[in-house]
Amino acid sequence: MNLLSVGASYRTAGVGTLEQLAIAESDIPAVLQRLVAQPYIGEAVVLSTCNRVEVYAAVTGFHGGLSDVCNVVAEHSGVASGDLAGHLYVHYDEAAVEHLFRVSSGLDSMVVGEAQILGQLRDAYHAATEADTAGRLLHELMQQSLRVGKRAHAETGIDRAGQSVVTAALDLAGDHFADGITGRTALIVGAGAMGALSLATLTRAGVGPLRITNRSAARADRLSEAYGATAVAYADLDAALADVDIVVTATAAPDPVLTRERLAAVLARRSAATPPLVVLDLAVPRDVEPDAAELPGVVVIDIDGLARSRRTPPAAAETAAVEQIVAAEVDHFLAWLRGADIAPTVAALRTRADEVVSAELAKLNARRPEFTAEQRADVSRTLHRVVQQLLHSPTVRVRQLAAEPGGDQYAALLRELFDLDVPLATQADAVPEIGGTA
């Protein structure tokens, strides 16, 4: 099996394309099953966030695997394969490992160093585990990516400022208030992970009083109690919108929650002397209808706006330190991967040796029926010990050689020299533990 990652992010696609490609949490199990039902895909993990949609797969061939992934993504999103091509990036084997480790460490994030991606990756991995679409290869890859992300945050200062998509959006929102955002009233629409992060971030920034609303009142109540905010009934959303300065919307709704018509009605209820209503739309698909941004008195900051701004990147020394961690961890994973390729071949060689010994013992027993059971056992143990001792040094050495760059040739040479039949499924199933879980 080989590793393949295919995706689109804020780097390659606008928010309009990303919301077409976005895969709702409820749809991920079905998409995963559709992926592993394809002829070239054996394992799959799907990561869908506000600024990226990616598929990680274990495939039996590059071109076939790529075609299978693209077909499933196109079918689910309704975007033609030809239209997808201009927005997708593709990474294979070593490049796929490096890309995922960069993602997990925050190097590829819109806000470099943000830690939220670790939780999103963990959720993607758990979804694949629940759907039984992550085999030994992707289990190890995802576990190691989470470990690499934790290491990057623990050993460097890349997230020292606590930056996130929410802090970046608030930074832009501050441009629209003459005296800053401190003390400004705010409403959070949505009580999921992003809603919780928004409440925490706004609280630290001195924004308040804070209100939160959600279709499920219980979730809004829990978050309001945790952060000292006020829960607002979802039926009272319009009244709440008319009485705040900042709105953070991060729901999982398939259609816009804040339509142009709704916001126009809200503006009509606001005093002409009030500052503009600044809406931070952190949802994909978008919660704010695109043409609502044209209304006077409304400022909409969405994922496209954040991608264009990308302020205050971490210091070069901090990102360089993370780059070094990623490079070292990629080398470590690839060494394990090369060693994993040789494992089923070594197992097949030992099996072949056992078969030869057993056949010769059977011939000996037929020729010498006078041997006692104890004598037969002594001969059997002696022969097996001789074979194991002969195989020990070369098999240990070939594992060492296989773990080095270019070591993938040794498995093929062993199979050729000893005429070993190692089925592909056996190779995939025989992946050893790399050690350490997240």
Annotated active-site positions, please? 50
Show the DSSP H helices in 131-288 as ranges. Answer: 136-155, 165-173, 193-204, 217-227, 237-241, 260-269
Positive/negative CA dihedral, 258, 264, 269, 273: positive
Residue 343 structure tokens: 């494992």
54 φ, ψ (degrees, to nearest 5): -135, 145
* Total residues belonging to the chain: 438
What's the angle, vertex CA 61, arms to CA 422 and CA 45, rounded to 5? 100
Rg (CA), the chain: 28
Going by their DSSP bridges, the two strands 52-59 and 2-9 should be labelled as antiparallel
Among 164, 169, 227, 168, smallest CA distance to 199 is for 227
DSSP, residue by residue, 102-165: HHHTTTTSSSTT-SHHHHHHHHHHHHHHHTT---HHHHHHHHHHHHHHHHHHHHSSTTTT---H
What is each CA distance from 80 to 22, 63, 156, in whole angstroms? 15, 18, 42
CA 143 to CA 129: how far, in whole Å?
12
Work out whether strand 246-249 and strand 230-232 pair parallel, antiparallel, or are unpaired. unpaired
User: Measured between alpha carbons, how far is 407 from 72 in angstroms, rounded to an integer?
Assistant: 34
The Cβ of residue 293 has, within 10 Å, a number of other Cβ atoms equal to 17
Output DSSP code: residue 212: E
Across the beta sheet with 298-301, the strand order is: 230-232, 210-213, 186-189, 246-249, 277-281, 298-301
